[in-house]
């Protein structure tokens, strides 16, 4: 009868990508025991994982990227383009802010100065002395 160590070597030779968890299930031992044997034999315990790609543009993300998008795509996904009612300039705003603004007001302005000018034109506020 082969030892546990020999059976682990045999399993790894049959399937180089087999995880330690699966080996432990087949051999009836703990994952930690399998890991320790692999370390003693100087056999890698983890495998190379291909790095993640952005789901929108396909750019390389790296390993620990929870959003599944690169920064420009994430920004584009969570922002919307609006047109200022005061001057007609297009500007970007976070989607959540745009929804909140739309609930409160019917108009969008890219800054307070533009808002003030629009209010003046619309409701007739004029400069004194002019």
| 54 Rama class: left (phi>0) / alpha (psi -120 to 50) / beta | beta
Distance of CA 129 to the CA centre of its chain: 56
pLDDT band at 1 (very low <50, low <70, confident <90, very high): low
Domain membership of residue 23 as a residue range: 4-40
- Mean of pLDDT over the chain: 83
67 in a domain, yes or no? no
Q: Answer yes or no: is 45 within a domain.
A: no
Instruction: Answer yes or no: is 57 within a domain.
Output: no
What's the mean pLDDT in 93-116? 83
């Amino acid at each position: 009868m082969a030892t546990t160590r020999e059976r682990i070597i045999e399993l790894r030779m049959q399937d180089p990508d087999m995880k330690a968890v699966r080996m432990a299930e087949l051999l009836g031992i703990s994952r930690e025991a399998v890991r320790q044997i692999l370390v003693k034999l100087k056999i890698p315990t983890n495998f190379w994982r291909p790095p993640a790609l952005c789901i929108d543009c396909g750019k390389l993300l790296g390993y620990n990227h929870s959003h599944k998008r690169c920064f420009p795509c994430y920004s584009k996904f969570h922002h919307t383009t609006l047109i200022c009612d005061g001057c007609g300039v297009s500007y970007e705003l976070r989607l959540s802010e745009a929804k909140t603004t739309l609930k409160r007001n019917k108009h969008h302005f890219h800054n307070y100065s533009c808002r003030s000018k629009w209010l003046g034109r619309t409701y007739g506020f004029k400069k004194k002395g002019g």
